[in-house]
Structure 1
Amino acid sequence: METMSPLMLGFIGSLAAGAMTAVGAIPVLFGSTPSRAMRDLSLGFAAGVMLAASFFSLIIPALDAAGAQFENGAAPAAIVCLAILLGMGGVAMMNTLLPHEHFRTGREGPAAASLRRVWLFVIAITIHNFPEGLAVGVGFGAHGLEGGLPLALGIGLQNAPEGLAVAVALLGEGYPKGRAWGIAAFTGLVEPVGGLLGAGVVALSEPLLPWGLAFAAGAMLFVISHEIIPETHRNRHQNKATLGLAVGLVIMLFLDVWLG
């Protein structure tokens, strides 16, 4: 794999991470669904992985990359801060402009009522998975196998409980087991698209490297704050969710130091 181009590494890495949504949803095919508390713990784990990845795999390397380009101490911090805000704003804009449906808060966005419910769910999960693929692609595009592998492993780990959560929620909406699994698996396929985009941008233009890294971090931070954490706290399982977040954070930190 070390002989592959950053673009190909970004695609394969994000594809593998996205495929973990299908792996995580497999239990629904056998009628085995975890309790609500266990699902909230798993989603908390996903949030912890994404939080650690945002800072240790994206924001800190973005500061290093910006620092190598500018001698002024304020410039690197300003670039990274602005790119984080742009990343958060980008996902917020997608959340506003694209019709989609959340499992608890219902339909949102323009023309939502005219679309079939299954596609509203698919669009919602696409909004949330795209930043993850983008982050993996940016990691490979910026630093090759060494920079992208911890991100791909971490995002893949957190995609498994997300895939299960999506499939279980679809079962609750009346979808048959096979279709619930298929939709959950399909939502992971957007990640290679983000991976190609992220790897391509930073591989083609070195000055864009700190912007790409921090933008991807901001996009993931929005998903953590806007979607995952509120979802884990709705059923009074915040203690389990926080435990999951702590475990996910330290595992991702360990992977990043060990593999990066």
Structure 2
Amino acid sequence: MEIAIGIVIPFLGTSLGAVLVFFMRGKMNEKVEKVLLGFAGGVMVAASIFSLINPALELSSDMGKFAFVPATVGFIIGIIFILLLDTFVPHIHEGSEESEGLKSNFRKTTKMMLAVTIHNIPEGMAVGVVLAGAVYGNSVVSISGALVLAIGIAIQNFPEGAIISMPLYAEGMSKKKSFLLGVLSGGVEPIAAALTILCVQFITPILPYILAFAAGAMIYVVVEELIPESQMHSHTNLSTIAFALGFVIMMVLDVALS
């Protein structure tokens, strides 16, 4: 039951964020977008540190001075994994007219969806690996900690759902279709989480590496996408404050509830 709840919670966050398109008139307010991007970045960084890196280091504590090795290796591989997806998958970021990845004839809306999908994969894996570690008896990772991570990802997904659905509507798509695509953009997370849990028999021996892998992938997304987008043009101070707020909220949730 806990596994199902943990998998569904982040998806609900994206869906609730996409609902905001029904209350929108015209284009998303730039200040609101800056706050949402900054907040999402803060949550992801805190989740990477407190829910993924710290447990990875603790699980490797019996290696003494070399306890950093699994976390370091996993983190770097996570960075490389998303870098490869970013390099080869055709996509376009919201607010940009320049496509990235391999050349394709995909529509702009499809490329925007793929951009969100790229960084939803590590979020789903993060929730899946922590849930798997908790449910299958790892002493370092608790089920409450796994649910806190799921809630943190859901908080981060709320603005993400809005950020994908609102621009689609602003570009002429109907509110209903924009909402549906916003919801579907988060569909890869429960899939990634479920697949990760199904592979638990292979994951358990290398859990520190996988935890750090998810952290590296998430940090790549923050540095490559969320921070640059939040610091473009004006109102950058709002995104910085929102980043700090998101970081603190996720840190408090992780420390107080796990």
The two structures have a TM-score, normalised by structure 1, of: 0.90
Structure 2 CA distance for partners of 1:200 and 1:62, relative to 1, 3 Å: farther
Cross-structure match for 1:64: 58
Contact kept, 8 Å, 1:149 with 1:259, in 2: the verdict is no
2:206 to 205, 208, 211: 208
> Identity, % of aligned pairs?
38
What is the match of residue 237 of structure 1?
A: 235
Does 2:85 correspond to 1:117?
no
Equivalent pairs counted in the alignment come to: 249
- Residues in 2 aligned to 1:207 and 1:176: alpha-carbon distance in whole angstroms: 48
Q: How does 1:93-172 map to 2 (within 5 A)?
A: 93-103=84-94, 104-112=96-104, 114-144=105-135, 145-172=143-170
Q: Distance in 2 between matches of 1:198 and 1:258?
A: 26
CA contact (8 A) 1:142 1:203 kept: no
3-state SS in 1 of match to 2:60? helix
CA distance in 2, matches of 1:193, 1:167: 21
Q: Distance in 2 between matches of 1:183 and 1:36?
A: 21
Distance 1:38 1:108, change over 3 A: same
- Other-structure match for 1:48: 42
Q: CA offsets, 1:199-221, max 9 Å, x none?
A: 33445442210011000000000
Matched, 1:219 2:210: no
Distance between the aligned counterparts of 2:86 and 2:47, measured in 1?
Answer: 22
Distance, in Å, in 2 between the alignment partners of 1:203 and 1:22 is 31
Q: CA deviation at 1:179?
A: 1.2
Q: Which runs of 5+ in 1 are unaligned?
A: none
Tell me by how many angstroms 1:234 deviates. 0.9
- Secondary structure, in 3 states, of the residue corresponding to 2:233? coil
Root-mean-square deviation (Å):
1.7
Q: Secondary structure at the match of 1:92?
A: helix
Cα 1:97/1:34, change in 2 over 3 Å: closer
Matched, 1:92 2:83: yes
**Residues 34 and 117 (structure 1 numbering): CA distance in 2 closer, same or farther, change over 3 Å?**
closer
Following superposition, the deviation at residue 15 of structure 1 comes to 2.6
Deviations 1:129-149 (A, max 9, x none): 111111111111112322311
Distance 1:78 1:191 in 2: 28
> Is 2:14–2:182's contact at 8 Å kept on the other side of the alignment?
yes
TM-score (norm 2): 0.91
Q: SS at 2:99's partner residue? A: strand
8 Å contact kept, 1:201–1:208: no
Equivalent-residue separation in structure 2 for 1:204 and 1:146 (angstroms): 23
Runs of 4+ in 1 over 6 A off after TM superposition: none
Q: 2 CA distance for matches of 1:88 and 1:28?
A: 32
